[in-house]
Amino acid sequence: MEEITFKVAPESKVKKKPSFLKPWLSLKYLFKKPVTIKIPYESIEPAEGYRGFHTLDWNKCVGCNFCGQICPARAIEMTWIEVDGKMEKRPHPKIDYGRCTFCQFCVEVCPPGALGFVESYMLTTEWNEEELQLFDWVPIHPDKFKEIQETYRDWRFPVEKIKFDKETKEVTYYLRNGEEFKFKILGYGIRPPKPPAKPTVKAEEKAQAKPEEKTQTKKPELDAESEKAD
Amino acid sequence: MVSQQELIREARENGMELLPLEKDTYELFFGPQHMATENYSLILKMDGHRVVKAIANVGFLHRGFEKLAEYRPWHTNIALLLRICVPEPDVPEAIYSMAVDEIMGWEVPDRAQWIRTTVLEMARVSAYLFWIMGLSFKLGVYTAGQWAAAYRERLMALFEQLTGGRVYHIYTIPGGVRRDIPGDRWLRELKDTVEYIKAKLKDFDNLLFENYIAHRRLEGIGVMDKKFALAEGVTGPNLRATGVAYDVRRADPYLLYPELDFEVPVLKEGDALARAMIRRFELEQDLYILEQLLEMGPPSGPYKVQDPRLKNLPRLKVPAGDAFAHVEATKGDFGAYVVSDGKNKPYRVQIRGPSISHGVRVIEQLLVGARLADVPVILMSLDNCPPDIDR
């Protein structure tokens, strides 16, 4: 076997001699300015591109469930959503920040680039039941999130309160800048919800929604099959 | 009344071990709540303030990393495996990525290699600063530890700009890295930080490494001889402190290390003082390596392999095969053995952490005869990292 030559450092360079006086030289730091930051009067701002909360462009999202498959913590659940009485054509990811590891692989794999992230990162609550529900959400549009982030710049969650009506399945996001954002959650999973799962949709709308569903089912089914095979 | 011998025999039949009670000795549970042990525990059999027998009690951190890795897509494992080594999470990322690159047959672009080397060296510097913090706290020189934490903060800010994360970077992926360098400003900031920490090394020497009291505390405790260290598979600074010149960066060069110039420190004493001195010198050498890398400058080109398969990450299939990759971490030789059977998930990922040798068998031998006050110091001088053992 070939002999490997290491450039070995001379022992005199590595070894240090003990000294009784030298430690006292550190007293000079008594007269220097401390590096400590006085929180909460001062704060560090996150760097540009810090991996924080997600954003989602609902128009771009095609509901391919790539984000759900790559997620190491399985924090993403596909959700069927109805906005203003009209069902979205594709399911959208719902992110549970209790599980999320903020690796942002979901953002990296998103084929249409619908998922994104902003620098806001404060994942804290005062441990109220209401607040605990906050961190399981379908992300909002990046422009809206960035607007809220710019106005407050305290890197907190943009939603103050999430109200979920169990009977009508209506969800209301009360944003921090006073806006309200309403939609309905019809069901979960990559397949579209069955008709009984959406009692509020009228018969006429159902007939309209049906041809759309047929086109949708094609890809989600493929996804489901491959998942079983895995 | 059953005799003691019978109790011991009965316990042994059921796969347990009962230590016989002796006069003047007592059992002391050291950790896992103790600050020095970090999610790790030692059962010490004490005679007065001397250790008679030590048993390493591991398993407090076991999260089944290796088994979990078999159920997740290839890229997703990066977010999991880096948790094996908290002070330098780039090491498990790099070894896993290098192993997968080898199976895939990917030639990592020059720019990605430069970034990987820089990130690994930055991780080494920040891990050594973290170690200085630990050692000085255990010796009672709290000031040096607080300095080290403050200087490490600068490196964490640089990591934050580069990778988007402060502690868990999730940055090195199979085929390159995830993001490009943020710009020339980042390189200038890194250069400033390297110069800053280099200037502060003198203060660390004055207060900690040339301190008379620190020398008295460290000298002659936890002595390990060459034969024992080689037999137990000790690697890294702990092995170099016993007089063996071995460094993975020279013995099995990877990334840009063949082009870089650095010296390997070797001492013969094998005690805690020698280990501390070797780590101190390596911190100096790492800063020197970073200076060389900055002088070299990042080569232009892509930072990721240009492969259409990378567009479909959840279904990325790695051809059947196996590969082993290892790097020199601050704790020793860190290696990963990855086996693929052609699916979109690994068949097996085996991580070889350096602490498995010096954190279990070696520590049990080194602690015999040590004073109770020296136990945390010996633990820290070995730079034990419990997640390596419990991976």
At A13-42, the pLDDT tens digits run 888 899 999 999 989 989 988 888 888 888
Residue B251, both tokens: 């013995």
The CA distances from residue B211 to A118, B146, B301, B386, in Å, are: 47, 17, 48, 29
Q: How far apart are CA B253 and CA B114, in angstroms?
A: 14
**Residue A223 predicted with pLDDT over 80:** no
**So what's the pLDDT on residue B323?**
95
| A11 lies in some domain | no
| pLDDT confidence bin for B263, thresholds 50/70/90 | very high
**Residue A45 is assigned to a structural domain of this protein:** no
At B24, is the pLDDT very low, low, confident or very high (cuts 50, 70, 90)? Answer: confident
Confirm whether A40 is domain-assigned: no
Please tell me the total count of domains within chain B.
Answer: 1
pLDDT in tens, B295-304: 999 999 999 9
pLDDT of residue B64: 86
- Number of domains chain A contains: 1
CATH of the domain at B307: 1.10.645.10
Determine what percent of chain A is predicted with pLDDT higher than 70: 83
Q: A157: domain range? A: 54-229
Quick check: B206 and A26 CB within 8 A? yes
pLDDT at B363 > cutoff 70: yes
Structural domain span for residue B258: 73-390
pLDDT of residue A201: 53
Average confidence (pLDDT) over A190-202: 65
Q: Which pLDDT score is estimated for A118? A: 92
Strand locations in B228-332 (E): 264-265, 321-328
The pLDDT of residue A213 is 46
Q: Does residue B243 belong to the interface with chain A, where contact is any CB pair within 8 Å? A: no
Has residue A32 been placed in a domain? no
Q: Is residue B245 part of a domain?
A: yes
Q: What is the pLDDT of residues B238-255, one digit of tens each?
A: 999 999 899 999 899 999
pLDDT at B21: 65
Q: Residue B168 and residue A105: Cβ atoms within 8 Å?
A: no
The packing angle between helices B110-139 and B142-163, to 10°, is: 160
Q: Is pLDDT at B22 greater than 70 in this prediction?
A: no
Q: What is the pLDDT of residue A153?
A: 86
Higher pLDDT, B271 or A225: B271
pLDDT digits (tens, 9 = 90+) for B28-47: 898 788 877 878 889 999 88
Instruction: Look at residue B366 and tell me if it is in a domain.
Output: yes
Give pLDDT, residue A205: 54
In whole angstroms, give the CA distance from residue B326 to residue B346. 18
- Tell me: pLDDT of A229 over 60: no
Whether residue A64 lies inside any domain: the answer is: yes
The Cα–Cα gap between A140 and A115 comes to: 10
Residue A100 with chain B: CB contacts under 8 Å: none
The predicted structure's pLDDT at residue A225: 45
Say whether A50 and B160 touch across the interface (CB within 8 A). Answer: yes
A90 within a domain of the structure (yes/no): yes
Sheet holding B41-47: strands in order across? B25-30, B41-47, B50-57
8 A C-beta contact, residue B348 and residue B100: no
Q: What is the mean pLDDT of chain B?
A: 90
Token readout for A100 is 């999320």
Least confidently predicted of A174-188, A213-227, B164-178, B257-271: A213-227
Note the ipTM here.
Answer: 0.83
pLDDT of residue B11: 84
Residue A25: inside a domain: no
pLDDT confidence of residue B155: 92
Query: Which pLDDT score is estimated for A128?
Result: 79
Q: A3 in contact with B at a CB cutoff of 8 Å? A: no
Cβ neighbours, 10 Å, residue B294: 15
Q: Is residue B369 part of a domain?
A: yes
Interchain CB distance below 8 Å, A14 and B206: no
Cβ of A47 and B216 within 8 Å? no
Q: Which pLDDT value is given to residue A206?
A: 52
Nearest residue, CB atoms, A9 vs list B150, B264, B311: B264
Task: Indicate whether A197 belongs to any domain.
Answer: yes
